[in-house]
Amino acid sequence: MRVTHTFEPVYDEKSKILILGTFPSVKSRENAFYYGHPQNRFWKVVAAVTGEEAPSTITEKKAMLFKHSIAVWDVISACDIEGSSDSSIKNVIANDIAGLVRGSGIEKIYGNGEKACRLYDKYCKGKAKKEIIKLPSTSPANAAYSMEKLIEHWQIIKKDVDCG
């Protein structure tokens, strides 16, 4: 099924890092916001790393990101996808990551999972001219990583965000 990304990146003038996913899940598309599947651990992991309570509303999620200079977006603008399966992604049209980086204070890019990194390298890196740092996926499909293990690996973003 051909699907188009329908919501904007979350960033502001203070954003220092960009965390890229691949493409919104069915639940995220229904909620019109990032990491909307209740089993996705993204919000809990970022909250743990930044010393916050896990946010529940979109307003709280945005506030936490802005407070800690974190931007969030996805590599893909449109693609053919079956449900929420990253492995089924075909016929990719990438978002303008380079334009976002140029028009902001973003210094580093992190990928939420290997697929996001591979897609970024293939479609965006040449124009964005920034390396992507791979983090383990917070997806519920990544059962190899416990919550504790995810938080341990995601600690790397702490040095680049505002945690005060």
Domain hosting 153: range is 2-157
C-alpha to C-alpha distance for 53 and 88, rounded to whole angstroms? 34
Q: What is the pLDDT of residue 163?
A: 63
pTM of the model: 0.96
CATH number of the domain within which 32 lies: 3.40.470.10
Checking if the pLDDT of 164 tops 60, the result is: no
Q: Is residue 162 part of a domain?
A: no
Q: What is the pLDDT of residue 162?
A: 66
Q: Is residue 84 part of a domain?
A: yes
E strand spans, the chain: 2-4, 17-21, 70-74, 76-80, 90-94, 108-112, 132-135
Q: Is residue 97 part of a domain?
A: yes
State the total domains in the chain. Answer: 1
C-alpha to C-alpha distance for 91 and 80, rounded to whole angstroms? 6
Q: Is residue 83 part of a domain?
A: yes
For residues 44-66, give the mean pLDDT: 97
Q: Is residue 163 part of a domain?
A: no
Question: Where residue 1 falls among pLDDT bands split at 50, 70, 90?
Answer: confident
Mean pLDDT, the chain, whole residue set = 95
